[in-house]
Structure 1
Amino acid sequence: MNPKKIHIIAPYPKGEAPSQRFRFEQYLGFLEEHACEIHYHAFHTQKSWDRLYQKGQFFRKFLDLNYNFLRRWALLFKLAGAKHIFMHREMAHVGPPVFEWFLVKVMRKKYTYDFDDAIWIPNYSSVNARFQKLKCYWKVPYLIRWAEQISTGNEFLANYARQFNPNVQVIPTTIDTRNQHSKLVDHHRKPIVIGWTGTHSTMHYLDFIVPILRKLEQEYTFVFKVISNKKPDYQLQSLVYQDWKEETEIEDLAEIQIGVMPLVLDAWSEGKCGFKALQYMSLGMASIVSPVGVNTKIVEQQENGLIADSAEEWEAALRQLLRDETLRSKLGEKARKSIIENWSVEAWKENYLKLLRV
């Protein structure tokens, strides 16, 4: 039997971006088991991606950009005979939807379009702020309209997409609880570790709970662990920083007993797919999340985690978990069970076969 060729178009190299790793990359092996031949086409090369968020090197980045555009034009010729095209976010990291227009309007190709954030809203790194207009956020409705079908990470994103295309389904961002997130938190270990993981661009959400942690330091002994790509400058006695590393990601996360995910209520946060909560809970962590977006679907109050909104609620939730080891263990156990049943690769993998008509 001839394998079905699936062409995956994505902005970033394989294994580099959480949006890709946990949206579709962890399903590639499963698709290959079902006689699929995967052709992966990233806009960035590994070298251009490594340079992208470094300060300076503007001329080198300009050369990278032009080279990657040439690679995209070459890709269009490779797609001449393609029958299964899966596009995540966009064909080019910057610029108007020229490649997508050519693919659909000239080559008459159909594609499945996938996104997991409110990517129509400007959101950019301070390092490249001066170039943010090149992102052309206005192109997203066109990419949705031109697609044959759309998969989104949550209902908020799906409702946005349905304004432009009725063929929309929700496939949540999921966790591989068998092969990756399989280590469990030890709730008996002391001192207790409260923790957060994420990129420096989202670290500002922690500003809200830093004064609360500073207050609790006067009463409890704990560690506040931040796993990121940039060290925070918070004045906390309990702060421990750790560089994020893919090879030790799970082991580093599993040292946290109380995972925190504070957010503010805005359109960008509504579009997020609750990935931090999913990661925390899959490892058996007791988590506290803000009641924003999909978080209220993932977390059931006092069942598999805690939901806190105001500063008073966050302080009370942290106090409760710092004091009660039995509660931490109980919430963590139920959290992992709920992820396996509702938010895991195993629970959703068949949907990818249907989505790609394999």
Structure 2
Amino acid sequence: MKLLFLTPYPIQRAPSQRFRFEHFFKFMEEMDLTYDFSSFLSEKAWGIAYQRGNLVSKAFYVIGGYLSRIKMLFTLGKYDFIFIHRELTPFGPPVFEWLITRVFKKKVIYDFDDAIWMADQNQENFLWKALKWRSKVASICKWSWKVSVGNEYLGDFARQYCDDVVLMPTIVDTSIHTPPIHHKHPMPVIGWTGSHSTLFYLDTILPALTLLQERLEFEFLVIANKNPNLPLKHFRFLAWNKQTEIDDLSLMDIGVMPLEDTEWSKGKCGFKLIQYLSLGVPAVASRVGVNNEIIQEDFNGYFAQTTEDWVSRLSTLLEDHQKRRTLGNNGRLLIEQKYSVNSQKQTFFNLFNDQP
């Protein structure tokens, strides 16, 4: 059986791909499967995609991406299943998805891990909204053989259009994501990791951190691709680096995941929490979306809503080393049971089960 994976980004680059399905590629041979991989963005395009400027080069690479999709259509005959992550092209209607499913009659497994049918930025102008053509998500769900989603909120949307929707959570490889054996810094570290597009969530907890630093000593660590330069007494920024990602995350004693209570946030799949807990780091999070399924109050972390909540919950963990260790160990067990490669391996490969 041969599979084709069609993705927006090059292999081993984007978290949404690395921690949803790329982990399973190493098992393909033992499952008697072969696969090819084709991304819209090339490696060179990925290198400049999120930089300012370079508009001519970016346009050139976008055109190249569309040409690669056209070329792909002529190879479809040799594949039994087509796995599409998020979308085949960044702009316009789902022409290629329609051709694959309706003209070439291929069985498509459609995968997404965000509420990509809605705008993620309130400031989007009319032209950008038109270019993104987000209504295509519903169409692709309708045409797909199966839909794989990261949480139940996304699943509820997909079930309006597809009868076979599979919950496939974001996962980590627990043989790689392992709790550190070294002693951590004498000053406790509260940490957050994410991309530049989600840094605004830190505004939610900045008042709490400011109050907290008046009576407790702690460092606040941000791991991202942009420095937010937070006005805190002990603030530290580390540029995200795939090679040091786990070591950097292991510096944390407490992880935080603040969210706004919006429809877009409900589509988030809790990846930050999954990373923290996999390393034995307890977490404090907003009670939004899938966070409600991952965090178990006073077992592997806490929920916080108001500034007072954040101060109280973080204080508890900062002042009690044993509590941090106990909750962290409990979190690790949860990840092994529900959010690990081993726990979801069969779910993933069942996506390609052709039996009724």
Q: What displacement does 1:196 show?
A: 0.2
Aligned to 1:249: 245
Could you report, residue by residue, the CA deviation over 1:147-170 in whole angstroms, capped at 9, with x for unpaired residues? Answer: 011110010000000111121111
TM-score, length basis structure 2? 0.95
Matches within 5 A, 1:101-180: 101-123=98-120, 131=128, 133-178=130-175, 180=176
Residue 247 of structure 1 aligns to a residue whose secondary structure is coil
Return the match for 1:344 from 322, 335, 340: 340
The CA distance in 2 between the partners of 1:322 and 1:81, in whole Å, is: 57
Residue 313 of structure 2 aligns to a residue whose secondary structure is helix
Deviates more, 1:80-89 or 1:272-281: 80-89
Return the match for 2:213 from 202, 212, 217: 217
Residue 169 of structure 1 aligns to a residue whose secondary structure is strand
Aligned to 1:273: 269
Q: Does the C-alpha gap of structure 1 residues 74 and 6 become closer, same or farther in structure 2, counting only changes over 3 Å?
A: same
Aligned to 2:285: 289
Could you report, residue by residue, the CA deviation over 1:116-159 in whole angstroms, capped at 9, with x for unpaired residues? Answer: 11000112699999745422111110010000111100100000
Does structure 2 conserve the Cα–Cα contact (< 8 Å) formed by 1:308 and 1:314?
yes
For structure 1, list consecutive stretches of 5 or more residues without a partner in the other structure.
none
Does structure 2 conserve the Cα–Cα contact (< 8 Å) formed by 1:187 and 1:328?
no
Q: What displacement does 1:18 show?
A: 0.6
Q: Aligned Cα RMSD in Å?
A: 1.9
Amino acid at match of 1:15: Q
Residue 261 of structure 2 aligns to a residue whose secondary structure is coil
Residue 74 of structure 2 aligns to a residue whose secondary structure is helix
Matched, 1:76 2:73: yes
Residue 211 of structure 1 aligns to a residue whose secondary structure is helix
Amino acid at match of 1:37: T
The CA distance in 1 between the partners of 2:184 and 2:47, in whole Å, is: 39
Return the match for 1:319 from 315, 320, 326: 315
Does structure 1 conserve the Cα–Cα contact (< 8 Å) formed by 2:207 and 2:307?
no
The CA distance in 2 between the partners of 1:281 and 1:197, in whole Å, is: 13
Matched, 1:307 2:315: no
The CA distance in 1 between the partners of 2:127 and 2:324, in whole Å, is: 45
TM-score, length basis structure 1? 0.95
Amino acid at match of 2:94: P
Deviates more, 1:237-246 or 1:48-57: 48-57
Q: What displacement does 1:299 show?
A: 0.9
Residue 284 of structure 2 aligns to a residue whose secondary structure is strand
Q: Does the C-alpha gap of structure 1 residues 134 and 294 become closer, same or farther in structure 2, counting only changes over 3 Å?
A: same
Amino acid at match of 2:199: M
Q: What displacement does 1:183 show?
A: 3.3
Aligned to 1:260: 256
Aligned to 1:49: 46
Matches within 5 A, 1:323-334: 323-334=319-330
Identity of aligned residues (%): 41
Deviates more, 1:32-41 or 1:313-322: 32-41
Aligned to 2:177: 181
